[in-house]
Structure 1
Amino acid sequence: WLRSNFSSEILPARPTLFDFHGVSMTKHFTDNWENTQNFKARPDDILIATYPKSGTTWVCYMLNLLYFGNMSPERQKSVTLNERVPFLELCAPPRPKGKDLADQLPTSPRLIKTHLPVQFVPKSFWEQRCRIVYVAHNSKDTVVSYYHFGRMNSLHPELGDWSTFLQDFMEGKMVFGSWYKHVNSWWEKKQTYSKLHYMFYEDLTEDSGREIDRLCSFLGLFPSAEEKEKVRAAVMFDNMKQNKMVNGSTVQIMNHDVSPFMRKGKVADWKNHFTVSQNERFDEDYKQKMKNPTLHFRTEV
């Protein structure tokens, strides 16, 4: 255990990555596995699923405001987004387990987030025909964002330098496994499961108003133009970055001095990190792994 220099809390040593049913994971997401798998979903639950660093917080906050923004303004100011939209598989004592927080949610519908690959999602979500919102982010910006997140988050394994991390990403040696498998298998699921709405981070950046409209239409919500505008303004990156209930500043395991949790919120930041040769190698590898002709990502907007 290490004493952190930015709070009085004793930080756990960083976990090690291991193979878990074919997916790289750490104990913080597998320790409560049986309970997580036996989670009892309700028909009106909404699952927000993403590969890490894909706009999860953005979409969680958007949904939270669409459903509960008017209903309980005081909750918005006093309860963190992590408690309003629990992280289902998280198990990092002494914090409460994500599954327990989800069980105790007082809201209806319950909004729950997960980074699980599609094959690991508790089966009750499918049995109850829950609505699922999946958010995908282009691979180059995801790996950059994940790198900075790994540097500041003690729940993640020790990471090497940028070039090592990039290679690990290409090989799927990341918490929650391969980005390629994650986005592709969720995309395939969408073809057979009609209650899955697949969104792209780049589309959100380009026109969040349009994406909010699409979300509302998927969820059967009919907010007024004024309400929608309020949500759109609240979820703008700079506004979220200032919002203590949303920006991760209350989370002790993150060292914002190393890198802020909400860093840039832009598309194409990868250009500031990839060398020319890294980019060429990455593109070559990408072509091998992204065979689905119907799934397209944009690396700039």
Structure 2
Amino acid sequence: MSMDIPPHPRGCTVTNMFMISDDGSIKIPALIVKEEGFKEVVEAVKTYKWKDEDFLLGSYPKNGTNFLWEIMTMILRGTSDYITDFKALCMMDLFPVTKLDADNLFPSPRVLNTHYRLEALPAAFQGKKTVIVMRNPKDVCVSYFHQESKLKFPKKGEEGSTVEMKFSDYIKIFLFGQDMPFGNFFKYCEYMWTLKDKPNVHFVFYEELIMDPIGAITKVNEFMGTNRSPELIAKIADATTFSKMQQGKSQQGHDNKALLGALRVDESAMKKTLSLMFRKGKVGDWKDQFSVSDNELFDAYLKQWEGGKDIPFIYV
């Protein structure tokens, strides 16, 4: 299929930054906040010593990372109270993971999370207790578009101008682009699904968390070996419904100046980012966004996508 694929406004064609595997064979476009910060993040990932009591959460952006991190951390701590420690500290793509212990910022046991395909991470993260969350690609595309269209990326070479993102263009970037931060969604899913039979890996589909939260959380609890009671699981399921999470987490705010400085953001920017994390959480939201031609293009891609044929995505 011949078409013009717009570059992603903060893709590797702009930044020329990548997360690269130990042997150099895997090279994934990186998310860059500031170049010096990314270099520090990469060095920390390379030197980190894994703690056996921790868990790894893998997900592509807008696949339910915040939901599942909250749920897993509640399970670890045996509580249905919202986690007041800052999740971004455990996002090893953005914050130097070695600082968690060195600066006593987020003690173990904890849930470290990443949007990179696990094959790009160093050996220290391979084969660890890992939960992977996936979401149907149509809803991912819609959710990611709404987040990124509000971020106002600067136009390359045009000071003071920002990129205006159209959904029809974004679909092309999402389906066919290879420069998006964290790489192409479909390549991500293809690789991660190859891990489905490994005993150290548990898959969760975002739609399960929305439609059958108690069942999904029970399975996560069993995989983690935490033996939490059915009563606590029910409380966690209730606390992490989308409407309650949206209200409870966005109102927390984070005014720790030292922490925000370490993350290289200010309080207003952090609150804006938090507000973008929870938009609708609706299963099947793509039906309200896609035009007929959008859906035809997407379905044509899915039909020829051999690598995703046996992934049981839930579209509703």
1:60 aligned residue:
69
Which deviates the most, 256-265 or 285-294? 256-265
> Residues of 1 paired with 2:288 and 2:252: CA distance?
24
> Residues of 2 paired with 1:54 and 1:40: CA distance?
27
Equivalent residues in 2 for 1:224-263, closer than 5 Å = 224-244=229-249, 250=254, 252-253=268-269, 256=272, 260-263=276-279
1:222 matched to 2:227: yes
Q: 1:70 deviation in Å?
A: 3.6
> Residues of 1 paired with 2:268 and 2:303: CA distance?
39
SS of equivalent to 1:253:
helix
Assess, with a 3 A threshold, how the Cα gap between structure 1 residues 255 and 275 changes in structure 2: closer, same or farther. Answer: farther
Deviations along 1:39-83, whole A, 9 cap, x unmatched?
Answer: 211222200110000000000000111111449x6xx56433334
Look up the equivalent residue of 1:130 and give its one-letter code: K
Look up the equivalent residue of 2:131 and give its one-letter code: V
Q: 1:159 deviation in Å?
A: 5.8
Q: 1:116 deviation in Å?
A: 0.9
User: Does structure 1 conserve the Cα–Cα contact (< 8 Å) formed by 2:189 and 2:308?
Assistant: no
**TM-score w.r.t. structure 2 length?**
0.76
Equivalent residues in 2 for 1:185-196, closer than 5 Å = 185-191=191-197, 193-196=198-201
1:269 aligned residue:
285
Of residues 140, 149, 152, the one that matches 1:151 is: 149
Equivalent residues in 2 for 1:179-218, closer than 5 Å = 179-191=185-197, 193-218=198-223
1:134 aligned residue:
132
Structure 1's unaligned 5+ residue stretches are 1-12, 92-96
Of residues 80, 83, 87, the one that matches 1:81 is: 87
User: Does structure 2 conserve the Cα–Cα contact (< 8 Å) formed by 1:102 and 1:110?
Assistant: no
Q: Percent identity?
A: 28
In the comparison of the two structures, how many residue pairs are matched? Answer: 274
SS of equivalent to 1:65:
helix
Deviations along 1:151-187, whole A, 9 cap, x unmatched?
Answer: 2346899562111111101123321111101111011
1:160 matched to 2:169: no
> Residues of 2 paired with 1:187 and 1:262: CA distance?
26
Q: 1:212 deviation in Å?
A: 0.7
User: Does structure 1 conserve the Cα–Cα contact (< 8 Å) formed by 2:117 and 2:188?
Assistant: yes
> Residues of 2 paired with 1:235 and 1:247: CA distance?
15
> Residues of 1 paired with 2:147 and 2:101: CA distance?
24
**TM-score w.r.t. structure 1 length?**
0.80
How big is the alpha-carbon RMSD for the aligned residues of Structure 1 and Structure 2?
3.0
1:50 aligned residue:
59
